[in-house]
Amino acid sequence: MFETRPDREAEVALVGRSNVGKSTLMRELTGHSFDTGGSPGVTREPNHYDWAPEDFVITDLPGFGFMSGVHEDHREQIKTDIVHYLEEYADNILVAVLVVDGKSVIDIIDRHSGPDEIPYDVEMFHFLRELDVPTVVAVNKMDKVDDTDERLNELCDRLGLLPPWKQWQETIAPITAKRGQIDSLNEAVREHLHEQNRDDLFKFF
């Protein structure tokens, strides 16, 4: 279990598979650099970022999924830790940002869909709903995607949201974190904060 969380009431948490760009997005949101890298599994412990006078923390959770050099047992442990973390702080997490790689997410979901298998991104999306944590799917690396609308409609379909994606701007946010293009995410997060009467946190998004 991760024990490093600062004692803050409100939280926004970034979750998602390894190498999708969570730490890159974290850098864009906070202006502070975190380890990012070409190989999956860079972040092994949560990165928390808080502002001294504010009762608010942004958390970048470790990635889950295939990571070269990381043993299967350890991978399962990380996944279990993430699930426990989300359960424990569900009441504090005002918005969860599920980050996916727009270039590969459909292929990965389809490859892992079967009678006995639920793909991680789909499972996590539904798990967050069960916890009643408002969730935005940040579809990252859109600089690598040509057929934007088609891709985002497919993603809606896989997540059980009726396309077209434009109906779901509070839930589906295409971004290119690496270039700082995250306006759609900021808007979606603000919508959810507003619904919870937390306009005071708009300055962070």
Ligand X SMILES: Nc1nc2c(ncn2[C@@H]2O[C@H](COP(=O)(O)OP(=O)(O)OP(=O)(O)O)[C@@H](O)[C@H]2O)c(=O)[nH]1
Please report, as ranges, the residues that interact with ligand X according to CB under 6 A: 18-24, 36-38, 40-43, 62-63, 140-141, 143-144, 176-178
Residue 41 touches which member of Mg ion, ligand X, none, C-beta under 5-8 Å by kind: ligand X
Closer Cβ to ligand X, 54 or 66, answer by number: 66
Q: Name the residue type at position 84.
A: H
Q: How far is the CB of 34 from ligand X (least distance, A)?
A: 7
Nearest-angstrom CA–CA distance, 193 and 12:
10
- Yes or no: say if 102 and 140 are a contact pair by the CB < 8 Å rule: yes
Contact of 47 with 60, CB cutoff 8 Å = yes
Closest to ligand X by CB, 26 or 57: 26
Residues 128, 93 contacting (CB under 8 angstroms): no
Structure token digits, residue 193: 């904060």
Residue 24 interacting partner from ligand X, Mg ion, none (CB closer than 5 to 8 Å by kind):
ligand X
Q: In the 8-state DSSP scheme, what is residue 199?
A: G
- Cβ-based neighbours of 92, under 8 Å, separated by 6 or more: 8, 9, 10, 11
Q: What minimum distance in Å lies between the beta carbon of 115 and ligand X?
A: 29
Binding mask 21-60 for Mg ion (x = CB under 5 A): -xx------------------xx-----------------
- Count CB neighbours of 184 within 10 A: 17
CB of 174 to ligand X, least distance (A): 10
| Position of minimal CB gap to Mg ion | 43
